Amino acid sequence: MKHYGQTIRSHILHTDDDEDGIERTYYIEGLLTPYDPGRSWGPMEDCYPPEGGDMIDFYVTHDGAVDKYALEYEDKINEDTDLFSEIEQAILEAAPDGPDDHH
């Protein structure tokens, strides 16, 4: 992920069973902070660690809409730290590789 100075949009499809046992697929779009891969070569005074690339917000839709299932699943993600981490990691992995590669 190599983005400089721009918010990055990335998305995934995620499937989950609701409380009725019905499998539903959700479209989740995450907003990521600008990413700078840092610099680990050259003179020491020019080197710095990577920074950014963190998920700052996300949106859930179901069947193309923000319906009750999408809102319930968004709440579930916010309440379950393991699920949040899983979603965040998937969003980061799905992020485009270059500044001109937008989803």
User: What does the pLDDT look like over 21-66, one tens digit per residue?
Assistant: 889 999 999 888 888 888 999 999 999 998 887 888 889 999 888 9
* pTM of the full structure: 0.69
Report the SS3 class of residue 39. Answer: strand
Instruction: Give me the residue spans of the domains in the chain.
Output: 8-94
Higher pLDDT, 7 or 67: 67
Indicate if the pLDDT at residue 18 is higher than 80.
no
Give CATH for domain 8-94: 3.30.300.260
Give CA–CA dist 50/33, Å, rounded: 12
Q: How does DSSP assign 60-99, residue by residue?
A: EEETTB--HHHHHHHHHHHH-HHHHHHHHHHHHHHS-SST
pLDDT of residue 5: 52
Indicate if the pLDDT at residue 100 is higher than 50.
no
pLDDT of residue 6: 62
User: Are the beta carbons of 56 and 62 closer than 8 angstroms?
Assistant: no
Give CA–CA dist 57/32, Å, rounded: 7
